[in-house]
Amino acid sequence: MRILVTGGAGYIGSHTLVELMARGHEVSVVDNHVNSSPVVLERVRELAGRPFESHVADVRDTGGLAAIARAFAPDAVIHFAGLKAVGESGERPVDYYDVNVGGTLSLLRAMEGAGCGRIIFSSSATVYGEPVYLPYDEDHPLAPVSVYGRTKLMAEQVLADWARAAPGTAAIVLRYFNPVGAHASGRIGEDPDGVPQNLMPYLAQVASGRRAALRILGDDYPTPDGTGVRDYIHVVDLARAHVAALDRAAVTAGAEVYNIGTGQGYSVKEMHAAFCRAVGRDLPFEIAPRRAGDIAEMRADCTRAARVLGWQARHGLSDMAQSLWNWQSRNPAGYRDRAEDPA
Ligand code: NAD
Ligand code: UDP
C-alpha cells in the first residue's frame, strides 16, 4: 500500500516507518520537525535499505498538504503529527487545539482532495481519565483531565463523524498506553527536547550521566508498592499495531477504536529495577511529591485488538529496558552531536 505518514520523524512514527517498509509498503512523510530531527529520516532510510520521500510541512497548511497528498495518491494515512506534552498543553491550550484538532481537520480536507478515505489515528489512554474500573476497555467512560487529553478526544470525535458521513471511509483510532524502548539496532529511539517529562527517558538520562537522580513522583498511591502503575508497551510492538490497523482499514468501514498496550501493569519502582538490571548497576533515585493530575494506575484491556486486528504485544519488560539502554548508550546526546543540557 501507499501510506502517507504525518509526524513520521517522531518517536513512534520513525519506528512505524521501519515496520511499514519492511513489509513492502511505500511511504511518504510529512513533518514540520517541531519535535524531531531530520536526521531520524536518514537513519530510517539506512535501516530500511531503500529511499522514500519526505516533506517539511505543517499539517495545518491544508493547501500544501493537499498538493503532497494528490501527488503521492495514498491508499491510507497514518496521523502521528501532534503536540503531546501534558503539562505544556495546560499553558498553551490554543496551540494544542490548533495542532491536534485543527491539524486533523486540515488533513481530512487534504485527503478528500486526494480521494483517500482511510486513516489511522494516534490517540491516547489519557482520554479515559480517572478509572471507573480497571483494566480500561474501549467502552470505559471518557473523561480526560488534561487539555492534551481533551484534544485527543475531540479529534477522535471528528474522525467518528467523518467516517459516519462518508460511505466507505474508515478511521481506526489507536489508544496507546505507555510506549517505551527503541529499535533493536540502537539507531532510532526517543530523543526528548530538554528535561524529559516521562519516566523512562528521564531514567535513561540518569544512566548516561545527564541527570543526577530519578525523582519518583509519589510513593503513597494505593498500589502494591505505593508508586504509580502503568501499562508500558515496547515501541516496536506499537509500530506493528499500525501495520495491523492498516490491514483492518482496508476491509472495514466506519470508525473503530482499539487499546494498544500489553495488559500488564508495572510500578515506577519495578521499571526502575528493570532498567538498573539492563544497565548493570544501581541508579540513584529520590522520593518526591506526586505530580498534579497523575492517576494511581492505568492498565489496558487489549482483547479487542487481539480478536479483531490479530495483534498483540510480543516484547516483555526486559526487552523494553535493554533496547532503551542500547539506544541511550549508543546515542547519549540523542540525534544531536552532544548534549546541550548536561546534568
Ligand atoms: P513525537 O513528538 O516524537 O512525534 C510527533 C511528530 O509530529 C514530531 O516529529 C513533530 O515534529 C511532528 N509534528 C508536530 N506538530 C506538527 C505539525 N503541526 N505539522 C507537522 N508535523 C508536526 O511524538 P510521539 O511520541 O512519536 O507521538 C506520536 C503521536 O502519538 C502523537 O500524536 C502523540 O500525541 C501520540 N501519543 C503518544 C504517546 C507517547 O507516550 N509517546 C502516547 C499516546 C499518544
Ligand atoms: N514518573 C516519575 N518520575 C518522573 C516521571 C514520571 O516517578 O520523572 C512516574 C509518574 O508519576 C507515573 C509514571 O512514572 O506514575 C509514568 O509517567 P510518564 O510521565 O512516563 O507517563 P504518563 O504519566 O503519561 O502515564
What local confidence, expressed as pLDDT, does residue 343 receive? Answer: 42
To the query of whether residue 148 is one of the catalytic residues in this protein, the response is yes
Q: How far is the CA of 11 from the centre of ligand 1 (A)?
A: 7
Q: What are the strands, taking DSSP E only, across 45-132?
A: 53-56, 76-79, 118-124
Q: What is the mean pLDDT of the chain?
A: 97
CA angle 105, 259, 114 (to 5 degrees): 30
The candidate with the shortest Cα–Cα distance to 248, out of 112, 103, 121, 71, is 121
Q: Which of 148, 176, 221, 266 is catalytic?
A: 148
Q: Are 121 and 157 in contact (CB under 8 A)?
A: no
Q: Which of 128, 178, 198, 286 to mutate to test the pocket of ligand 2 (most atoms within 8 A of CB)?
A: 198
pLDDT along the chain (343 residues), means of 10: 98 98 98 98 98 98 98 98 96 98 98 97 98 98 97 98 95 98 98 95 96 98 98 98 98 98 98 98 98 95 98 98 98 83 47
Of all protein residues, whose CA lies closest to atom 7 belonging to ligand 2?
A: 216
What local confidence, expressed as pLDDT, does residue 337 receive? Answer: 79
Q: Which ligand lies nearest the alpha carbon of 32?
A: 1
CB 285 near ligand 2, within 6 Å: no
Q: Of ligand 1's atoms, which has the minimum distance to the CA of residue 84?
A: 34
Q: How far is the CA of 7 from the centre of ligand 1 (A)?
A: 6
Of all protein residues, whose CA lies closest to atom 3 belonging to ligand 2?
A: 216
Q: How far is the CA of 81 from the centre of ligand 1 (A)?
A: 5
Q: Of ligand 1's atoms, which has the minimum distance to the CA of residue 103?
A: 18
What is the C-alpha to C-alpha distance for residues 128 and 131, in angstroms, rounded to an integer?
Answer: 7
Classify residue 183 as exposed, middle or buried by CB count within 10 Å of its CB (0-12, 13-18, 19+). Answer: buried
Q: Which ligand lies nearest the alpha carbon of 288?
A: 2
Cell (9 digits) for 264: 500488564
Handedness of CA 49, 54, 59, 62 (dihedral sign): negative
CB neighbours of residue 310 within 10 Å: 10
Residues lining ligand 1, judged by CB closer than 6 Å? Answer: 6-7, 9-13, 31-36, 58-60, 80-84, 99, 103, 122, 124, 176, 178-179
Q: How far is the CA of 167 from the centre of ligand 2 (A)?
A: 41
Q: List the domains of the chain with CATH numbers.
A: 2-181+232-260 (3.40.50.720), 199-230+264-298+314-340 (3.90.25.10)
Q: Which residues contact 279 (CB under 8 A, 6 or more apart)?
A: 207, 325
> 63-111, pLDDT tens digit by residue?
999 999 999 999 999 999 999 999 999 999 999 999 999 999 999 999 9
Q: How far is the CA of 148 from the centre of ligand 1 (A)?
A: 12
